[in-house]
Amino acid sequence: MAKYSLGIDFGTLSGRAVLFEVETGTEVATAIKEYTHGVMDEFLPDGVNKLSDNWALQHPNDYLEVLKTAIPEVIQKSNINPDDIIGLGIDFTASTIMPIDSHGTPLCMLEEFSSNPHSYVKLWKHHAAQNEANLINEIAECRGEKFLKRYGGKISSEWLIPKIWETLKESPEVYHTADQFIEAGDWVIYLLTGEFKRSSCFAGYKATWHKREGYPSKDFFKALDPRLENVVEEKLSNNISSIGMKAGEITKESAGLTGLRPGTPVAIAIIDAHAAVPAAGISEPNKLLMIMGTSTCHILLNEKEVDIPGICGIVEDGIIPGFMAYEAGQSCVGDHFEWFIQNCIPTEYERKAREKNVHIHEFLTEMASKIKPGETGLLALDWWNGNRSTLVDANLSGVILGMNLQTRPEEIYRCLIEATAFGSRVIVENFREHGIPIEEIYACGGIAEKNPLMMQIYADVLNIDIKIADSAQTAALGSAIFGAVAAGGSRGGYDTIRDASKAMSRVKDKVYRPIPENANVYNELFKEYERLYNYFGLENNIMKKLIRIKNERSRCSPKK
């Protein structure tokens, strides 16, 4: 009798529940629930309380809705007896954190805090804590804090500590009322199992926690702000479990909510991008995986720990026990194209796409595929949501160079694709220059699945073959792999992540191979990209000046 494992992938815009056959990794059924509140970056749910620039919040009730609707739906669609679902894993974006009370209730769900933005979930792309991140980096560097090196020399405003400190400064009442600040992924584990078991993956990559050294010292936190001296004991938790372990089992209550059987093993949560690694069949060193969606994460394994500037982090056993797992990334990839179609598309293009019955992305991609490398006359810096690697600065912004009266939307679309590919090349070269070889490149995620032009451009710009993970739901498959490991061999699952990955993952037959003449043109353009990158990223602070002026002006102007 076949056995199944359930993977639930909580992305930026939706949660997906996907059921996989444990023996082969075959996808059996999928259910997707778009988040009711989506990403709140202008207003709180009341539609009245306005958010400042760089805020990005979510509502935890949306995650609960995923459990309540997507899980029963996937069970019903698959026609499978829940007794045959032997395990469950979840992955989540990160650092996506919320303050909760001692009963596990998010503070934003309490009447008295519902109009306080700090009581909501601060999504990974909430970038308003850049000042706090800058101060943490300055103080840590000045004190010679060892942990900083593991995070490429700088931590990002996307991480947990800057976000908590921002809350303490701007809303001490939320900070003091909170029993804990918790990653949304760990909170979902609590909903399902009743256990507060934090994941070593979230803690390691996003909360500066280390397997042997723990969190940074009290002394360091005190140097940031005396009120933070005991932040670890008071607001975090040392109950951290390794990924690959079982967090607990489905409780009676969560069984009622989801239709799963009480007692079903649940794996420790993992970051969405990281879950994709075993799902792409990667369990050995020097194979880079690009997880390409709203953002792109670049992940690879190696035996040794080498300090590499500008990466997001290195975590021992971060994904596959026995290896250092390196992460770097780009904060804005699919989001560029989303911004573009929301703001810059002529109605004529929308009409034509409708007539052809294709999505506007496909329409623009088809138009852009008729243009040769270098033919747009454009060059862009892909920093519409700041730069995560290698500059680690959310206050950097985008540039398009070379526009004139003849510039067409598809040319801009193509140059944005190229810019993200150049951004990935900077990351790849940075790893190589610092002694971490990259021998093979794999890709997965929404974009790797949906946009062949983009993947060809990446192969040309990176000048290497790109293999694509077979599953269209790689993060969910990764979670299901962890679910099967939580169940263990004796229940029909697996005893190791490596065994589960070997059995449940594969890559597609189609490989994107570099076209030599395209690669030559892109080599030339990349040199110019690098010059722009260094100029605006390191030499000229005009982008930050513009933000300062904008903030000063908006403080002076009356509220609309």
Ligand X SMILES: O=C(CO)[C@H](O)[C@H](O)COP(=O)(O)O
Ligand Y SMILES: Nc1ncnc2c1ncn2[C@@H]1O[C@H](COP(=O)(O)OP(=O)(O)O)[C@@H](O)[C@H]1O
Residues that bind ligand X (CB under 6 A): 11-12, 93-94, 124, 271-273, 293-295, 297, 329
Whose Cβ is closer to ligand X: residue 426's or residue 525's? 426
125 contributes a contact to ligand Y by CB under 6 A: no
Least separation, in Å, of the C-beta of 312 and ligand Y?
16
CB 137 within 8 A of CB 208: no
The 3-state DSSP class for residue 230 equals coil
CB 163 within 8 A of CB 200: no
Least separation, in Å, of the C-beta of 471 and ligand X?
14
Query: Residue 486 and residue 477: Cα distance in Å, rounded?
Result: 14
340 contributes a contact to ligand Y by CB under 6 A: no
Residue window 360-399: x/- pattern of binding to ligand Y, with contact defined by CB under 6 A:
-xx--x----------------------------------
Judged by CB under 6 A, which stretch of 224-232, 331-339, 490-498, 547-555 contacts ligand Y? 331-339
12 contributes a contact to ligand Y by CB under 6 A: yes
The 3-state DSSP class for residue 290 equals strand
The 3-state DSSP class for residue 28 equals strand
Here the tokens at position 122 are 């601060």
Least separation, in Å, of the C-beta of 395 and ligand X?
18
* Partner whose binding site includes residue 94, from ligand X, ligand Y, none (CB under 5 to 8 Å by kind): ligand X
Least separation, in Å, of the C-beta of 409 and ligand Y?
14
* Partner whose binding site includes residue 337, from ligand Y, ligand X, none (CB under 5 to 8 Å by kind): ligand Y
Here the tokens at position 355 are 């007539």
- Helix, strand and coil content of the chain, in percent to the nearest 5, comes to 45, 20, 35
Whose Cβ is closer to ligand X: residue 124's or residue 442's? 124
Residue 228's nearest CA partner among 294, 162, 279 is 162
409 contributes a contact to ligand Y by CB under 6 A: no
Sequence-distant (≥ 6) Cβ neighbours of residue 254 within 8 angstroms:
67, 191, 192, 193, 194, 260
Query: Residue 299 and residue 475: Cα distance in Å, rounded?
Result: 13
* Partner whose binding site includes residue 361, from ligand X, ligand Y, none (CB under 5 to 8 Å by kind): ligand Y
* Partner whose binding site includes residue 297, from ligand Y, ligand X, none (CB under 5 to 8 Å by kind): ligand X
Q: Which of residues 441-470 bind ligand Y (CB under 6 A)?
A: 445-447, 450-451
**From 73, 338, 429, 499, residue interacting with ligand Y (rule: CB under 6 A):** 338
Using alpha carbons, list the distances in angstroms from residue 345 to 111, 336, 339. Answer: 41, 13, 10
Query: Residue 152 and residue 381: Cα distance in Å, rounded?
Result: 21
Alpha-carbon torsion, ordered 43, 45, 46, 49, to 10 deg: -30
Whose Cβ is closer to ligand X: residue 333's or residue 484's? 333
The binding site for ligand Y (CB under 6 A) comprises 11-13, 293-294, 334-335, 337-338, 361-362, 365, 445-447, 450-451
